[in-house]
Amino acid sequence: MNIALIAHDKKKDDLVRFTVAYKHSFERHSLFATGTTGLRIAEATGLSIHRYQSGPLGGDQEIGAMIAQNSLDAIFFFRDPLTAQPHEPDVTALLRLCDVYAIPLATNMGTAEVLIKGIDRGDLDWRMIVKESSDKKNEKR
């Protein structure tokens, strides 16, 4: 599966701790992240992570493009609901795309725990069916 990892500044430590705790789960998947978040996770875990730009510099939009191309299967986006974000429109667009394309999204530690355990159990295997269907539609074009 392709999994994105994103965190606002005040939530980066939480996401790093989460990925350290579930390294055994994440290492079986292709990981994508916004700039600093990806660097911090890679340093803490040794996991291979494709890093995009920092969120405010376009990284959220790069991840959004992956969603629109049906290239992502799950997103862990630890958001800080108490701090105004200068790139809030990008964040809102990313969340909207998750809803449009039915991409599972965890925005806090509680939902992240449920999502990673679901991934481990195979609860998201339906994503492979969605991808195959999408690939067949694209071949016909």
- Of 9, 14, 60, 125, which residue is the catalytic one? 60
Q: How high is the mean pLDDT of the chain?
A: 91
Q: Does 60 qualify as catalytic in the annotation?
A: yes
Q: Where are the alpha helices (DSSP H) in the chain?
A: 12-21, 23-26, 35-45, 59-68, 88-100, 109-121, 126-140
CATH number at residue 68: 3.40.50.1380
Domain extent at residue 26: 2-140
pLDDT digits (tens, 9 = 90+) for 21-67: 999 999 999 999 999 999 999 999 999 999 999 888 888 899 999 99
- The pLDDT, as a whole number, for residue 134 is 66
Domain count, the chain: 1
Tell me what percent of the residues of the chain surpass a pLDDT of 70. 93
